[in-house]
Amino acid sequence: MKNAVPRILVVDDEQAVLDLLVYNLSKAHYEVRTAANGRQALELARQAEPDLILLDLMLPEVDGLDVCRELRRVSRVPIIMITARGEEVDRVVGLELGADDYVCKPFSVRELMARVKAVLRRTQPDEAAPAPVLSGPGGLRLDPERREAAAGEQPVRLTRLEFDLLYTLVQNSGRVLTREQLLEQVWGYDFAGDTRAVDSAIKRLRACLRVAGPFVDGIEAVRGLGYKFAGDP
How much is the pLDDT for 233?
Answer: 47
Mean pLDDT of 187-196: 63
pLDDT tens digits, residue range 115-128? 898 888 877 655 55
Distances (CA, A) of 66 to 13, 39, 90, 205: 15, 10, 11, 20
Q: What is the pLDDT of residue 141?
A: 92
Residue 111 pLDDT level (bands cut at 50, 70, 90): confident
User: What is the number of other CB atoms lying within 10 angstroms of the CB of residue 195?
Assistant: 14
Q: What is the DSSP string of 14-35?
A: -HHHHHHHHHHHHHTT-EEEEE
Task: Give the H or E element holding residue 79.
Answer: strand 79-84
Whether 50 contacts 9, CB under 8 Å: yes
The C-alpha atoms of residue 87 and residue 20 are separated, in whole angstroms, by 22
pLDDT of residue 215: 74
Task: Give the pLDDT score at 120.
Answer: 87
Cα–Cα nearest to 180, from 166, 190, 168: 190
pTM, 2 dp:
0.70
Domains in the chain, ordered, with CATH?
A: 7-123 (3.40.50.2300), 134-229 (1.10.10.10)
pLDDT at 126: 56
